[in-house]
Amino acid sequence: MERMIRFGFIPMILLAAVPACRGTESGRRAGTHPDSGGTAMTKNIRWLGHAGFVIRGSRTVCVDPYRVSTGEPAGLILITHEHGDHCSPDDAAKFTGPGTWIVAPAAAAAKLARLAGNPERVKTVKPGDTLTLDGVEIRAVPAYNLKIPNHSPDKGHVGYVFRLDGVTYYHAGDTDRIPEMRGIRADVAFLPAGGTYTMNAKEAAEAAEDIGPRLAVPMHWGSVVGSEKDALEFKNRFKGEVWIPTLQE
Ligand SMILES: [Zn+2]
């Protein structure tokens, strides 16, 4: 049990006793939008646009960099799947140094193999796999569509639950609201809300209720699909704390 919780998972039977909590407004971070929200938990998080984020701590973790102007050295790069707006070798290269680990499902790992210099620094994962790299606990979790074929369950696309400096993060990847989410616990949840290829804002807010994070962050909008309107709808619908990220170059 203890190990399951450390990895961000709790048995579904316990979930009914874990309400989505609402944070205070005191830690609000200034954003370009007056209703952007945010808490002290966002100070180490850089949104790269679309589904790309950097989390800075004792290690720097970068997820799905895409159309990034300025990179920074990362200890880990986590790629959710092989589609070009998530697995961009040119953008991943901006975060790759000699000590960088790259984690990705097989189809994406094949595109990124040349980046790390050493093939052993590219770790291939499938849903359900766990690994620890440089002290960061990582679990690859399912990510798939329920009705459209773009991200069908057989493709092995993933989201990631990872624990960095005592905080558990969940980056959902490209996914619909799937039953497995009810077994995921995270302090910070990055959830696609732009619709078309993923959950829309309403579905993402329902997924956030399933997960009950301390902070929910709508993503997958403002670039390929979706707009700030979707992010605001997500914020209006979810009862917990929401941070609408702003681009940081
Ligand atoms: Zn995709």
CATH number at residue 77: 3.60.15.10
* Section 18-34 average pLDDT: 35
pLDDT at 4: 45
Report the chain's C-alpha Rg in angstroms. Answer: 16
* Section 120-133 average pLDDT: 96
Assigned token pair, 132: 């620890």
pLDDT at 113: 86
Distance CA 8, CA 144 (A): 19
Residue 135, domain member (yes or no)? yes
Ligand 1 centre and the CA of 108: distance in Å? 11
Q: Is the pTM of this model over 0.75?
A: yes
pLDDT at 39: 64
Ligand 1 centre and the CA of 86: distance in Å? 7
AA letter at 108: A
Residue 220, domain member (yes or no)? yes
Residue 100, domain member (yes or no)? yes
| SS3 assignment, position 193 | coil
Distance CA 44, CA 212 (A): 21
Ligand 1 centre and the CA of 4: distance in Å? 28
Residue 44, domain member (yes or no)? yes
User: Hey, which residues does 4 pair with through a beta bridge?
Assistant: none
* Domain membership of residue 210 as a residue range: 36-237
For the cut 60, the answer to whether the pLDDT of residue 75 exceeds it is: yes
- pLDDT, averaged across the chain: 85
pLDDT at 222: 78
Contact 146, 180 (CB under 8 A): no
* Section 49-55 average pLDDT: 94
Ligand 1 centre and the CA of 14: distance in Å? 32
Residue 221, domain member (yes or no)? yes
Domain count, the chain: 1
Ligand 1 centre and the CA of 3: distance in Å? 30
Residue 81, domain member (yes or no)? yes
* Section 200-226 average pLDDT: 92
* Section 175-204 average pLDDT: 94
For the cut 50, the answer to whether the pLDDT of residue 22 exceeds it is: no
For the cut 80, the answer to whether the pLDDT of residue 24 exceeds it is: no
Ligand 1 centre and the CA of 216: distance in Å? 20
Residue 29, domain member (yes or no)? no
Ligand 1 centre and the CA of 199: distance in Å? 12
Residue 247, domain member (yes or no)? no
Ligand 1 centre and the CA of 142: distance in Å? 13
Ligand 1 centre and the CA of 82: distance in Å? 7
pLDDT at 38: 56
Ligand 1 centre and the CA of 222: distance in Å? 15
pLDDT at 30: 35
